[in-house]
């Protein structure tokens, strides 16, 4: 069974009454409950736990890590970021949510600033499915509509995604690449935009479905472990035609 670790900064929920009203037990518990119900084996980890809850043992038991952070990206220790990025390259899936675009693991794995435009005006967002046959869009209508969302707008300074599954339109006129697939090493990465902390977006069933689909998509396969470096020939190479170098 796919094992998921749901990581959350878990500061806004403890410091801000508006956020606590939407996510009394934290964003991570809502996401973890939804993934649990979707049939994944789920655990949670948060910033203020020792090693941010991401010990070697936890990551060894993690097929897919989901990441929500916003105000404390800088407090994530670099050695833990190293550990997460190394596990991604080895094959662990990574689902980066909303303001996680500025997280250390995501910016490092992308190699770009991951900057964007934003506006908090409780406007409508419509996420259009660009790839209806893609497993991450499974069970989703032609679009998902969110009544009240924070706007993220282009340009989003990311590398061109391998596959762009969703594009968002916002009431104020901007558009945004809101569902982006990547590979880094053996690992799969999905960036998914919705999820501002003051709106009940992770309670939305379609959003929960996309996150669950993304976890299933990002879970590692039993493929071969690649080898690198100098390689002996597998067959005898005919060297009689070798030209001498003058």
- Footprint of Zn ion (CB under 5 A): 99, 150, 196
Least gap, CB of 31 to Zn ion (angstroms): 15
Q: Which residues contact 230 (CB under 8 A, 6 or more apart)?
A: none
**CB of 219 vs Zn ion, minimal distance in Å:** 27
Residue with tokens 């929920």: 13
**Any bridge partners for residue 192, and if so which?**
97, 179
Residue closest to Zn ion, measured at CB: 196
- Smaller CB distance to Zn ion: residue 150 or 174? 150
Q: How far apart are CA 149 and CA 34, in angstroms?
A: 20
Nearer to Zn ion, 187 or 195 (CB): 195
For Zn ion, which is the closer residue by CB, 3 or 118? 118
Can you list the alpha helix ranges (DSSP code H) found in 23-93?
Answer: 27-37, 56-60, 78-90
Smallest gap, in angstroms, from Cβ of residue 150 to Zn ion?
4
C-beta of 56: minimal distance to Zn ion in Å?
Answer: 31
Contact (Cβ atoms closer than 8 angstroms) between residue 179 and residue 166: yes
Pick the closer one to Zn ion by CB: 75 or 86. Answer: 75
State how far the alpha carbon of 127 is from the alpha carbons of 33, 50, 137, in Å. Answer: 23, 37, 11
Structure tokens at 12: 């806004």
User: Minimum distance between the CB of residue 125 and Zn ion, rounded to whole angstroms?
Assistant: 12
* Residue (182 or 199) nearer to Zn ion, CB: 199
What secondary structure, in 3-state letters, does 188-246 show?
Answer: EEEEECCCCCCCCHHHCHHHHHHHHHHHHHHCCCCCCCCCCCCCCCCCCCCCCCCCCCC
Taking the complex as a whole, the smallest distance from the CB of residue 70 to Zn ion amounts, in Å, to 6
Which CB atom, from 63 or from 197, has the smaller least distance to Zn ion? 197
User: By three-state DSSP, how is residue 97 classified?
Assistant: strand
């Amino acid at each position: 069974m796919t094992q998921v670790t749901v990581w959350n900064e878990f500061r806004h929920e403890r410091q801000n009454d508006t956020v606590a009203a939407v996510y009394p037990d934290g964003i991570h518990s809502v996401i973890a409950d939804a993934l649990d119900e979707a049939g994944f084996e789920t655990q949670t980890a948060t910033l203020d736990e020792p090693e941010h809850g991401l010990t070697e043992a936890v990551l060894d038991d993690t097929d897919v890590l989901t990441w929500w952070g916003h105000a404390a990206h800088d407090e994530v220790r670099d050695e833990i970021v190293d550990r997460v990025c190394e596990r991604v390259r080895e094959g662990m899936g990574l689902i980066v949510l909303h303001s996680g675009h500025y997280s250390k693991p995501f910016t490092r794995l992308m190699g770009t600033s991951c900057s964007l435009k934003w506006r908090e005006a409780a406007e409508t967002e419509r996420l259009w499915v660009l790839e209806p046959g893609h497993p991450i869009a499974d069970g989703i209508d032609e679009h998902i509509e969110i009544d009240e969302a924070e706007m993220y707008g282009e340009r989003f300074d990311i590398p061109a995604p391998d596959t762009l599954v969703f594009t968002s339109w916002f009431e104020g006129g901007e558009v945004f690449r809101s569902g982006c697939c990547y590979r880094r090493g053996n690992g799969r990465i999905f960036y998914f935009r919705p999820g501002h902390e003051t709106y009940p977006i992770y309670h939305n069933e379609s959003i929960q479905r996309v996150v669950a689909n993304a976890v299933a998509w990002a879970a590692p396969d039993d493929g071969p472990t690649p080898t690198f470096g100098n390689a002996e020939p597998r067959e005898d190479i005919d060297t009689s035609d070798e030209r001498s170098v003058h």
